[in-house]
Structure 1
Amino acid sequence: MTADFPAADRAQWRALVDKVLKGADFERRLVRTTYDGIPVRPLYDIDETAPLRAAAGLPGSAPFLRGATAAGTVAGGWDVRQRHAHPDPAIANAEILEDLERGVTSIQLRFDRALAAGGTTPDGIVAYDLAALERTLEGVYLDLAPVGLDAGARFAEAAELLLALVERRGLDPAAVRADLDADPLGALAQGEALDPAAAHDRALVLARTVAARWPQVGAFLADGRPYHAGGATEAQELACAVASGIFYLRALVEAGIPAAEAARQIGMALAVDADFFLGVAKLRALRRLWARVLEVAGTPEAMRRLRLRAETATRMFSRRDPYVNMLRSTVATFAAAAGGATSITVLPFDHALGFLPDAFARRIARNTQLVLREESNLGRVIDPAGGASYVEALTDQLAKKAWALVQEIERRGGMLAALRAGWLQALVAESWAERLRQLATRREPVTGVSEFPDLYEEPRRGAPLPDLSALVADVRARLGNPTPTPSSGIAAIPAHRLAEPFEALRDRSDAILARTGARPRVFLCNLGRLAEFTARATFAKNLFEAGGLETVASEPIASLEEIGHAFKASGARLAAICSSDENYAAMAEGAARALEHAHAARIYLMGRPEEERRAAYEAAGIDEFVYVGSNVLEMLERAYETLAGEAAA
């Protein structure tokens, strides 16, 4: 049938597009740029990406861009991993068994490190001895359900406990699969107290133990997630993971461990957020980059396959309207699966709220994966994104950007030296600052927070923690007063969430509500007929309520005499004029004077007037012009400053 249609070329397509654009700039309207400076075009030709598809090879073969095995994940789908962090080992055990019975295939244990550092509130499973870990994993078949450890600076102690537990149960070391996840660099980047030299020695001891007896156990994790949480771009996260892997690989080889065995012991982890195509391309690019590193290191091709773990990104989660996080996690999980992750962890949708997940949150987390894997059959498709021109081009560009950063890190002495110098922290901070600029202008929207906020949502309540005083007292008595670890001198990379700045404004609104019984309000002065003001009034309501300012809309105002009475009746101290440009020319100055006479503390005009009109509007009393692309965060901050000044007066 396609033969019946004439062939089309890019020139014809572009001519049709230009006709629709009617003179508008093609690059500005239809080409977006990622935070790494990669242009994303609306059309990719199959012919232009033919060399990339040829270089990608076949699934299961070098450079492993299309997956670690020829069959993809079709043998059983990817590993469905669930995170567990309840401080009480008995409760953690009950939750682990429930998840395993309902479809989870492996578990991730977050070990407490707060008590060991002198804290009083645990931040993970309180397992400081073999008996506590035994209680946590009672009934778990360790030769069937792989266990991953998340212990930060306590990586050596946690690994020793898990291996000791396996030996106590008399299991065959060759049959046990586990991820010990020693990652001193990641712990340092997150600000944990750690002596780099001592951690290096303990990690090498662990590597030798694993090499001698545990052929299916991974000892090291090169983790990109701390950098992603700090605001890193996709290429920066890739570079940090690869450079960390190079650091560990070099240390193991220098300690006498063969390169092939060293490569086997190193896994990698990335955060995946709701940008689907960037998530897919990022995972594919990492396999290509690591395969190249191992090729240079002289490892056999069969050992260049990467154990690649993906986790839903903490950066994309919001505290406000947390149910939207379910949608974000679904997109991220889809991207991780399409990108070929061997293991995926979906964080609970209420993770950002700071309390431990209940049964419902854990169920949603595991079912997000199970629906995609078992019902949508995504796990039965080999490299589902492979061959798509856009994905292949994006993968290639990301890999090149990341490789240039890896080379720069190596020129600076490697990952540890880059962290010690603060260069990497500054790089990530600069990327976060750029994200903040995009958030402030709402070019990067956060649904349910900066866009479509629900000012009256009912907050989600977490289940109260049980009394942990006896558990904490017992550990404190055995640990004694911890010896402070000398400062590493390495600045931590603070974790951020995209929703934070708007949530901070909503918190201020909540505080005012608790103190006075009412939220701060903005009066929407709607001039003219419904059709003339609805668009800008809707824009204003969405914008002000994103910052916690309740909007009170007027009825359609046809005469200026109505404005003062309507404003006073609203109970607002701020006012926003909403209408068409034509109505502004006829009524905006009079409306501003009426609002000023009614003692409005700050007056906004929704829209961007021409320069010749701006001075007249300002002279009439308009304080600020609000339009698409203006800095919303700064505008909202000024609104709260105005209200605070009035309250103080």
Structure 2
Amino acid sequence: MDTPCPDKAPADLAAAEACWQGAYAAQIGRDRPVCNRSGIEIKPLYTPRDRDGVPYLEALGFPGQPPHTRGIYPTMYRGRSWSQRQLIGLGAPEDYNARLRQLLDAGATAISLIPCNSVYRGHDADEVDPLLLGTCGTIINTVEDMALCLRGVPMDRVSVALNDALPFTLAAFLLGVARRQGTDWERITGTSNQSDYISHFVANHMFFTIALPGSRRILGDHIEFMNRFVPGWNPLSVVGQHMQQAGATPAQAMAFTLCTAIQHAGDCMARGLAPDSFLPRFTFFFDISISVFEEVAKFRAGRRLWARIARERLGARDPRSWRFKFHAQTSGTDLTRQQPLNNIVRVAVQAMAGIFGGLQSMHTDAYDEAISTPTAEAARIAVNTQNILREEAHLGDVIDPLGGAYYVEALTDRMQEEIEQIIAQVDAAGGMYAAVERGLVQKAIGESAAAFQLRVERGEEKIVGVNAYRAEEAPGARPALERPAPAVVEAQLARLRAFKAARSSAAVEKALGALAAAATDARENVFARTVEAAEAGATHGEIVTVLRRELGFGHPLVAI
């Protein structure tokens, strides 16, 4: 039953609020509690009372200034739009190059390369069943493969993100290609997107190739080498995406990511590196779920916290070190095989959350990624989703457009509180490295994943097409991308055989011997020797085999 509104506005805020509360209670009846994915209770209405006594400059400030809540650059998207960095991984190197050119023509402004799963597992193409090759990424085993992938790409003008897990053979191949082309390494820009071995140990086990202590050593060597010889490169991307996709709540994902960044920074400082010599090249990589306001608050709180952590805890004095530069990808775990065209809407909503959260670059998933590697049509729609949000919806016109909203600011504060509590728990466990060694982080993520799945199964969390608004679809209504043709795979295997036959066996043997020696000598830089081995003609699988032998095979810890 409706409660009539007063004839005139109440005299003050308290009276107006009391009037609304009475009307709300009368109409709503029994109100149900609402919580977001991080477990934070959400009120039905937020008012100026939720911001009482909060100083503007201390909590929000201006873009490009501490506390960085509103963005890390003064102009944000008014000055330069976010980078459209679409992830591509497809078949043989020639297939990748063709798709890459299509996406650049469609408006992508930077490139991202993901290798075949066989590469992540540490193998060359001739070591696995051909049926498995090229289905989830590009087959890249040699410097020649990388040259084919990047054919026609001006390496000194296009930023390249390599989804390159340890021991960073793709980066080594890329540097080899640059040297062949006469491109100065100092002019190369990009990111080692999958350099965060801690995230792999916790939540992306296929990428975890080298035992934990060895991984720690190799990452430090990679950071030192790239900072010195490839200064435009970001050698570390601290990854929260894997943990959130494994089931961490948005607050947990942000907290664990910041803990990981603190750990990596501490490891760099233990090597004698000054914070301001490496922190400006730290980047972050996050998942964007469909929980819009929660994601916006997650990013704003994380940005504010990192600026403070870098300044106060790590001792950074250069303002560039305080910048929370992050790439984000719309969440594949929110996509469904059922009614897959609905995923176009999901991706658009996720992308809006990322833009409102102030990201620096973004990959938007294709609607059919729940089924297979994206088809060309679906990939083009994914790119155009960003084009439409920027050009037609004008989402980049205003900096931090949700800033100042009572709900958004209150939620940002609550997310920060939740994140800080989790960071304190990890600190009490001895830091992120110690916490993951003991399985504490894995256990927390597993519990959150199980709790969310239970809510879905009970119908408390609605997913359109899965447990609500279901519809029958004809089998094969949305066909998956076909596997690479057998002839394509065989041609790639033949190329690998020819490459091995043509190289100098003596040079490869010498380079791999030097790599093995470096792995057991703390005075040596393992990544420097990896680059030398790649340029001498060593393959990805050969390099990984040597390092696994010397530093141990990567076995992730699964906590139940």
1:430 aligns with 2:452: no
Matched, 1:323 2:341: yes
Q: Structure 2 residue aligned with 1:9, among 5, 13, 18? A: 13
Instruction: Report matched runs for 1:150-229 at 5 Å.
Output: 150-154=163-167, 156-181=168-193, 182-189=195-202, 190-191=204-205, 192-229=208-245
Match 1:230 to one of 246, 266, 279: 246
* Secondary structure class of the residue paired with 2:112: strand
Q: Map 1:279-318; keep pairs closer than 5 Å.
A: 279-296=295-312, 297-300=314-317, 301-318=319-336
Asked whether the 8 Å contact 2:328–2:362 carries over to 1, the reply is: yes
Q: CA RMSD in A?
A: 2.4
> 1:206 Cα shift?
1.6
Contact 1:321–1:457, Cα closer than 8 Å, also in 2: no
Is the contact between residue 36 and residue 291 of structure 2 (CA under 8 Å) also seen in structure 1?
Answer: no
Is contact 1:227-1:493 (8 Å) kept?
no
Q: 1:19 to 1:48 in 2, by over 3 A?
A: closer
Tell me if 1:69 matches 2:73: yes
Partner in structure 2 of residue 449 of structure 1:
466
In structure 2, the partner of 1:81 is: 85
**Equivalent pair of 1:210/1:217 in contact (CA under 8 Å):** yes
1:209-258 per-position Cα deviation (integer Å, ceiling 9, x unaligned):
22213232100011011111111111110011101111111111111222
Code of the residue aligned with 1:9 in structure 2: it is: L
Match of 2:350 in 1: 332
Q: Deviations over 1:519-564 (max 9, x none)?
A: xxxxxxxxxxxxxxxxxxxxxxxxxxxxxxxxxxxxxxxxxxxxxx
1:28-43 alignment, distance < 5 Å? 28-29=31-32, 31-43=33-45
> 1:421-570 to 2 correspondence within 5 Å?
421-458=438-475, 459-464=477-482, 465-467=484-486, 468-472=489-493, 475=496, 483=545, 486-492=552-558
Cα separation, partners in 2 of 1:435 and 1:52, compared to 1, 3 Å: farther
Contact persistence 1:52–1:392 (CA under 8 A): no
Deviations 1:66-99 (A, max 9, x none): 1111111212311111011103100100110110
Equivalent position of 1:364 in the other structure: 381
Q: Distance in 1 between matches of 2:491 and 2:184?
A: 36
The CA distance in 2 between the partners of 1:266 and 1:312, in whole Å, is 21
The structure that is strand-richer by fraction is 1
Distance 1:124 1:334, change over 3 A: same
**Residue aligned with 2:191, SS:** strand
- Cα gap change, 1:244 to 1:475, in 2 (>3 Å): farther
**Structure 1 counterpart of 2:259:** 243
Work out which structure has the larger RCO, using CA pairs closer than 8 Å and 6 or more positions apart in sequence: 2
The whole-number CA distance in structure 1 between the counterparts of 2:351 and 2:334 is 13
> Does structure 2 retain, via aligned residues, the 8 Å contact 1:49–1:389?
yes
TM-score (structure 1 length as normaliser) = 0.71
Deviation at 1:48, TM superposition (A): 3.2
Are residue 268 (structure 1) and residue 281 (structure 2) matched?
no
Quote how far apart the aligned CAs of 1:367 are.
0.6
- Give per-residue Cα distances to partners, 1:117-169, cap 9 Å, x unaligned: 45432342111211111110111122222111112234x21121222323333
Alignment-mate amino acid for residue 455 of structure 1: E
Q: How far is 1:16 from its partner? A: 3.8
CA contact (8 A) 1:321 1:448 kept: yes
Residues matched between the structures, number:
487
Taking structure 1 as reference, are residues 226 and 473 closer, same or farther at Cα in structure 2, changes over 3 Å only?
A: farther
CA distance in 2, matches of 1:67, 1:319: 35
Alignment check: 8 A CA contact 1:85 1:110 kept: yes
Distance 1:351 1:41, change over 3 A: same
Residues 172 and 239 from structure 1, CA distance in 2 versus in 1: closer, same or farther, beyond 3 angstroms?
A: same
1:20 Cα offset (Å): 4.9
CA contact (8 A) 1:422 1:490 kept: no
Aligned residue in 1 for 2:521: none
Structure 1 stretch 135-144 or stretch 91-100: which is displaced more? 135-144
Conserved 8 A contact 2:235-2:281: yes
The answer for the alignment partner of 1:392 in structure 2 is 409
8 Å contact 1:419–1:490 — kept in the other structure? no
Once structures 1 and 2 are overlaid, which stretch shifts more, 356-365 or 210-219? Answer: 210-219
SS state of the match for residue 268, structure 2?
helix
Corresponding position of 1:44: 46
In the superposition, relative to structure 1, how do residues 287 and 231 fare at CA in structure 2: closer, same or farther (>3 Å)? same
Cα pair distance change 1:261/1:476, threshold 3 Å: farther
Larger mean Cα displacement after TM superposition, 142-151 or 454-463: 454-463
Q: Decide whether the 8 Å contact of 1:295 with 1:304 is kept in 2.
A: yes
List gaps (5 residues or longer) in structure 1: 495-649
CA distance in 1, matches of 2:180, 2:555: 39
* Distance change >3 Å, CA 52–CA 126, structure 1 → 2: farther
8 Å contact kept, 1:71–1:382: yes
Q: Using the TM superposition, give the Cα deviation of residue 8 of structure 1 relative to its aligned residue in structure 2, in angstroms.
A: 5.1
Note if contact 2:303-2:323 (Cα within 8 Å) is conserved in structure 1. Answer: yes
* Other structure's SS at 1:351 match: coil
Q: Deviations over 1:276-334 (max 9, x none)?
A: 10111111111112112101211123321121111101220111111111111000100
Structure 2, unmatched stretches of 5+, are: 1-7, 501-538
Q: Is the 1:84–1:92 contact (alpha carbons within 8 Å) kept by the matching residues of 2? A: yes
Query: Within 2, Cα distance between the matches of 1:339 and 1:404?
Result: 22
**Aligned partners of 2:55, 2:456: CA distance in 1, in Å?**
34
1:102 maps to what in 2?
106
Q: For the structure 1 residues 229 and 489, does the alpha-carbon distance in structure 2 shift closer, same or farther, using more than 3 Å as the test?
A: same
Alpha-carbon distance in structure 1 between the residues aligned to 2:61 and 2:185? 35
- For 2:73, give the aligned amino acid: T
CA distance in 1, matches of 2:209, 2:224: 24
Matches of 1:169 and 1:399, distance apart in 2: 47
The alpha-carbon distance between structure 1 residues 15 and 473, as it changes in their structure 2 partners (threshold 3 A), is farther
Which deviates the most, 255-264 or 335-344? 255-264
151, 154, 166: which one pairs with 1:138?
A: 151
Q: Percent identity?
A: 26
Residue 126 of structure 2 is aligned to residue 126 of structure 1: no
Q: Given residue 328 of structure 2, which amino acid in structure 1 is its aligned partner?
A: A
